[in-house]
Amino acid sequence: MIGFDYGTSNCAVGIMEKDQPKLLNLGEHGRFMASSLYSPSRDVIVNWLQKNINEPHKAKFTALRQYQLSKGQEALEDLRYDGIAEHLSFGKEALSRYLDDPSEGYYIKSPKSFLGTNGLLAPQIAFFEHIVASMMAHVKQLTENELQREVTQVVIGRPINFQGRNSEESNKQAIQVLTNAAKHVGYQDVEFQFEPVAAGFDYEAKLTEETRVLVVDIGGGTTDCSMLLMGPSFINKLDRSAELLSHSGKRIGGNDFDIQLALKGIMPNLGMTSQLLTDKPMPVNSYHEAVAINDVNAQTEFYNAKNGRFLAQLKRDSKQPELLARLLKVYEQKLSYQLVNSAEQAKINLTDNHQFLVDLSYLDAGLAQSVDRELFLQASENQLNNIAQLMREAVELAECQPDVIFVTGGTAKSPVINQFLQQQFNNIPVVIGDHFGSVTSGLTRWSQRIFA
């Protein structure tokens, strides 16, 4: 039995060892595998998965996907003819292969962000199921290599809401994708637990008395808050519904902070704040779509042929066409993920530094942009205010004040965000948990309780 944090930013797996959760090493990824996948062609993902799927499910999986497998086989033959490596890559290696040539292959970061998207067609849902199952198969293989035994029982973390709109249908769709993927790769017993609740379970193990805890989990794709009644007398209960006082959650996370920093700090170098020859401001919709890597529809709109013609016309109509040439380069070479990755690296570096120079030489030789914490704070204003609202909502729904605020999630590591959270409830102590490991540890504790 394992706890599995299939996160928007990272994946991690835990087991219980001597009554304590232990995060496993996932091969070359270490304890945390970046949640990204690269395939030399999107059509061959299903073929890779078929080869790595759990045997009892393989025949049914194959029978239902004859067309996709046939299409993928044709793509594989083309790759072999061209001498292109046909294997899938995960984590940092996936990013590295993408950055080697962004215009080739298929790269996706944080697929969890897409699972609850409204309006997806059945083939799109099936495609995301293949991506998730491929990542799960890879993690499961590494887990079983580390443990030297088969793993069949898993507790997977989930946000309160995968999407803000039509949350009930969105959550149902996303959970179904995750369940199907987990079953495909050989998990027989699949359970889910809210990520902030799981993080709370890890904190609860350290408590010596009954405590009202407001858990704030700022992940890569969502922010979730839970008000929990916790303490030694509750720790072994299987039904914790009476102690789960309230929840709130919204699709605001690390990806959104990266996107806003890209817009505020990088996009002016691509002409976002420039003018047209008519002295009118530059239309900004394409700039937003270009970096909206967590929005299927926005990326589809940005990369369609009609928008390519529109961007070429914008360049002709611009007072600074050399800046619009960079945006056109993003379109032509599919550099959206590289732009947002530049912003993410800046955000990470601003954790320990007040200023950071972003390398943008992939857009133009010698191009760089300095960003600082003040600019990051300005770019993050809307996201931070939304997180504050979620915290207040959880407190109001619980109809009581917390004794302590427990903060977790990789995004909360930023001192800019951390300071903001400390200001929300001035008289209540704030405890910072393991930014990346608290949810995994809590899921692991819960797996021991429910599968014992």
- 264 and 287 housed in the same domain: yes
Instruction: Supply the pLDDT for residue 366.
Output: 95
- Any domain includes 196: no
Q: How many residues does the chain have?
A: 452
Q: Is 370 exposed, middle or buried (0-12, 13-18, 19+ CB in 10 A)?
A: exposed
pLDDT at 166: 64
- Residue 448 resides in a domain: no
Residue 93: which CATH number? 3.30.420.40
Measure the CA–CA gap between 357 and 372, rounded to whole angstroms: 9
User: What pTM was computed for the model?
Assistant: 0.86
Pick out the chain residues at pLDDT < 70: 164-166
Bridge partners of 6?
11
Residues 36, 79, single domain; the answer is: yes
Q: Please choose, from the candidates 443, 451, 311, 448, the residue with its C-alpha nearest in 3D space to the C-alpha of residue 13.
A: 443
Is 439 part of a structural domain of the chain? no
CA distance 138 to 88: 10
Q: Are residues 50 and 88 in the same domain?
A: yes
pLDDT of residue 27: 94
Helices (H), 10-54: 45-51
Domain that holds residue 387: 209-253+381-434
- Supply angle C-alpha 343, 345, 350, rounded to 5: 95
Locate tokens 């799960």: which residue? 136
Residues 286 and 423 grouped into a single domain: no
Confidence at residue 164, expressed as pLDDT on a 0 to 100 scale: 63
How far apart (Å, rounded) are the C-alpha atoms in residues 213 and 112?
A: 27
Structure tokens at 222: 């969502």
pLDDT in tens, 2-55: 999 999 889 999 999 988 999 999 999 999 999 999 999 999 999 999 998 877
Q: What are residue 329's phi and psi, to 5 degrees?
A: -65, -40
In a shared domain, residues 157 and 220 = no
Extended beta strands in 195-313, E state: 211-218, 223-230, 244-250
Determine if residue 148 is left, alpha or beta; phi over 0 gives left, psi from -120 to 50 gives alpha, anything else beta: left
Between strands 153-158 and 2-6, the pairing is parallel
Residues sharing a CB contact under 8 Å with residue 268, sequence separation 6 or more, in sequence order: 274
The verdict on 265 and 314 lying in the same domain is yes
Type of residue found at 315: K
Q: 389 and 289 share a domain?
A: no
pLDDT of 32 reads 95
* C-alpha to C-alpha distances, 95 to 34, 106, 192, nearest whole angstrom: 9, 11, 29
Number of domains in the chain: 3
Residue 394 and residue 371 in one domain: no
308 and 177 in a common domain: no
- The position carrying tokens 């944080």 is 110
Instruction: Specify if 452 maps to a domain.
Output: no
Q: Which of 339, 355, 379 corresponds to the end of one domain?
A: 379
Report the pLDDT value the prediction gives residue 436, as an integer from 0 to 100: 76
Could you tell me if 87 and 157 lie in one domain?
yes
Q: Do 23 and 59 reside in the same domain of the chain?
A: yes
User: Do 356 and 412 fall into the same domain?
Assistant: no
End-to-end CA distance of the chain: 9
Find out whether 174 and 162 touch, Cβ atoms under 8 Å: yes
Residue 443 lies in a domain: no
Answer yes or no: is 193 within a domain: no
The CB density around residue 305, as the number of other CB atoms within 10 Å, is: 7
